[in-house]
DNA sequence: GGCCTATAGGGGGAAAATCCCCTGGGGTTA
DNA sequence: TAACCCCAGGGGATTTTCCCCCTATAGGCC
């Protein structure tokens, strides 16, 4: 039997190479390449390298993350089978990945036997659904999917957002941005409406939830 | 040459077992056990199992995390060599781990060759310092280490904190907690001082940074 | 007894945030 | 061309937040 080919896309080199060891041990699979992000995956395709039977795709990556990568694949390689693999058990992320064509979704704390089963399922049957995913999908059906509010923000509003997630007053922000406090006030009101928050604290929490702002 | 023995403590089973494959491939090492958290490690010791030459310890785990585990080890197995291994490149966490006796600290995105070198160093030389760690330590020397501010909060103040990370006004919070708005006001002021924040937004950001509040 | 802290409460006031309403200019597009 | 949106700004009012001050009880500690 011919070995199934796999490409791993994950910025955690140690994990990726460890995973390679594990997969190689399974005999039925071979790892064609380990790539650090979606960008490298697009380059992999451009060099007309062998198309893998399956891509193991991490979600949280620098440069080009899992969701961006799925969007690119949807456009350019819609037939590519992808198993998303991540630490995040954030439902929104799961849904987004599946919406963009991922055939299955695994958390990295999965038991290796299930992992093997999931790979097999996606390659042979075209999909793998775990209990968690079914939950996520069921929940998402009920939710009137209005998408990400923040995608409708203007550039200026996004700029305001960055400053709003701090201890600056609106007056400070106005100075920082070289604008009138009243203009900032307009941004605030617009952003509040678009993101459906009622207070600045609500705004900050929205940003955190949706990882619009990096905290470190 | 006798193989060096290793225990892996990591709740991400897939990663842990993958890592085992990688380590086993190196020939010089053997993995004695894979444990899911610090609690399991303490149980491992209690059953008088073979003491490993090295523990690979994840930081973020449920039940008993890396820092708690290091504190336990410091008390009960001060000689145990530990290499901390994590996704988090949060400097505070690194410093805390090292302060509690970890002999080295690796991010999971390390190159496997460096990983092997780090294991060798910790087992044979007793320590491993990467550039990042030296930075972290140097920075921490300058910082007047006052530890985690939030550990000095009272129960009531912590209760207030939970409600403060929301769109509730202080009046709402007072109602929610069945107290006078003025009492809430006292909590606010005390918490602001203890956490060294100046605004409610600053408070929320502090909570997020230190994961005092779970957002989902 | 003094001293400290946690708890619960209050007065008063200044500064911010929030919420309405409004006027323009400039660009896009139906 | 009219409708619409983004941008920049403003008037005015109400809440909320924030920052001082203060009292009082109960418990622990020296």
Say what the pLDDT of residue B134 is: 66
Cα–Cα distance for residue pair A135/A138, rounded to 1 Å: 5
Say what the pLDDT of residue A186 is: 92
Cα–Cα distance for residue pair B18/B133, rounded to 1 Å: 25
Structure pTM? Answer: 0.67
How far A6 CA sits from the closest chain B CA (Å)? 15
> At B85, is the secondary structure helix, strand, or coil?
strand
Cα–Cα distance for residue pair A110/A86, rounded to 1 Å: 10
Nearest of B153, B139, B59 to residue B107 by alpha carbon: B59
Nucleotide nearest to A200 (CA to C1'): C17
Say what the pLDDT of residue B60 is: 78
Chain center to CA of A77: 18
Say what the pLDDT of residue B135 is: 67
Q: Which two tokens stand for residue A174?
A: 């106005």
Cα–Cα distance for residue pair A48/B158, rounded to 1 Å: 57
Instruction: Check whether B29 has a pLDDT greater than 50.
Output: yes
For B212, other C-beta atoms within 10 Å of its C-beta total 18
List the A104-107 sheet strands across, edge first.
Answer: A29-35, A4-9, A54-58, A82-86, A104-107
Q: Are B88 and B59 in contact (CB under 8 A)?
A: yes
- Residue of B35, B56, B87, B108 best to disrupt the A interface, most CBs of A under 10 A: B108
Q: In chain A, what percentage of residues exceed pLDDT 70?
A: 86
Say what the pLDDT of residue A144 is: 43
Between CA A89 and C1' C17 the distance (Å) reads: 35
Say what the pLDDT of residue B123 is: 87
Q: Residue A1: which H helix or E strand, with range?
A: none
Q: Are A8 and A35 in contact (CB under 8 A)?
A: yes
Degrees to nearest 5, angle at CA B19 with B12 and A109: 15
Main-chain dihedrals φ then ψ at residue A55, nearest 5 degrees: -110, 130
Q: pLDDT tens digit string along B85-141?
A: 887 666 677 777 777 778 888 877 778 888 888 888 888 888 887 766 666 666 655
B144 φ/ψ sector (left φ>0, alpha ψ -120 to 50, else beta): beta
Q: Are A4 and A53 in contact (CB under 8 A)?
A: yes
| Residues of B at the A interface, defined by Cβ within 8 angstroms | 11-15, 17-22, 24-25, 85, 87, 90, 106, 108-112, 115, 164-167, 169, 197-202, 204-205, 208-209, 215-216
Sign of CA dihedral B104, B105, B111, B116: positive
Instruction: Check whether A72 has a pLDDT greater than 90.
Output: no
Q: pLDDT tens digit string along B150-188?
A: 557 888 888 898 899 999 999 999 988 888 889 999 999
Who's near A26: CB < 8 A, 6+ residues apart? A116
Taking the CA atoms of chain A, what radius of gyration do you get in angstroms? 21
Q: In chain B, what percentage of residues exceed pLDDT 90?
A: 18
Cα–Cα distance for residue pair A104/A94, rounded to 1 Å: 9
Residue predicted with more confidence, A29 or B212: A29
Say what the pLDDT of residue B146 is: 46
Cα–Cα distance for residue pair B113/A17, rounded to 1 Å: 10
Who's near B190: CB < 8 A, 6+ residues apart? B157
Cα–Cα distance for residue pair B201/A14, rounded to 1 Å: 37
Say what the pLDDT of residue A138 is: 62
* A109, A114, A117, A122 alpha-carbon torsion, rounded to 10°: -40
As a whole number, mean pLDDT of residues B28-53 equals: 87
As a whole number, mean pLDDT of residues A139-167 equals: 72
Q: Are B58 and B100 in contact (CB under 8 A)?
A: no
Q: Which protein residues have their Cβ less than 7 angstroms from some atom of strand C?
A: A 169-171, 185-186, 188-189, 192, 198-201; B 152, 154-157, 179-183, 185-186, 199
Instruction: Check whether A28 has a pLDDT greater than 60.
Output: yes
Burial (CB count within 10 angstroms: exposed 0-12, middle 13-18, buried 19+), residue B105: buried
Q: Residue A211: which H helix or E strand, with range?
A: none
Domains of chain B: 4-128 (3.40.50.2300), 136-209 (1.10.10.10)
Instruction: Check whether A170 has a pLDDT greater than 50.
Output: yes
Instruction: Check whether A87 has a pLDDT greater than 80.
Output: no
Question: With bands split at pLDDT 50, 70 and 90, how would you rate the model's confidence at B145?
Answer: very low
Q: Which two tokens stand for residue B73?
A: 């080890």
Cα–Cα distance for residue pair B182/B122, rounded to 1 Å: 55
* B38, B40, B44, B45 alpha-carbon torsion, rounded to 10°: 40
Cα–Cα distance for residue pair A188/A199, rounded to 1 Å: 10
């Amino acid at each position: 039997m011919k070995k199934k080919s796999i490409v791993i896309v994950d910025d955690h080199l140690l994990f990726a190479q460890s995973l390679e060891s594990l997969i190689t041990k399974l005999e039925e699979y071979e790892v064609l390449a380990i790539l650090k992000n979606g960008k490298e995956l697009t380059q992999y395709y451009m060099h007309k390298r062998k198309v893998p039977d399956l891509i193991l795709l991490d979600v949280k990556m620098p440069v080009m993350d899992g969701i961006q990568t799925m969007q690119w694949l949807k456009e350019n390689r819609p037939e590519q089978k992808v198993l998303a693999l991540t630490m995040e058990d954030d439902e929104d992320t799961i849904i987004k990945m599946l919406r963009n064509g991922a055939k299955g979704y695994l958390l990295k704390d999965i038991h290796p036997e299930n992992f093997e089963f999931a790979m097999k399922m996606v390659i042979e049957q075209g999909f793998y659904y775990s209990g968690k995913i079914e939950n996520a999908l069921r929940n998402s059906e009920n939710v009137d999917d209005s998408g990400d509010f923040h995608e409708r923000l203007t550039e200026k509003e996004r700029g305001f957002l960055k400053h709003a997630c701090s201890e600056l007053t609106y007056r400070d922000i106005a100075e920082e941005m070289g604008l009138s406090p009243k203009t900032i006030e307009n941004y605030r009101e617009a952003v509040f409406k678009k993101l459906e928050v009622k207070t600045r604290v609500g705004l900050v929490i929205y940003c955190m939830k949706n990882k619009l702002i990096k905290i470190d």
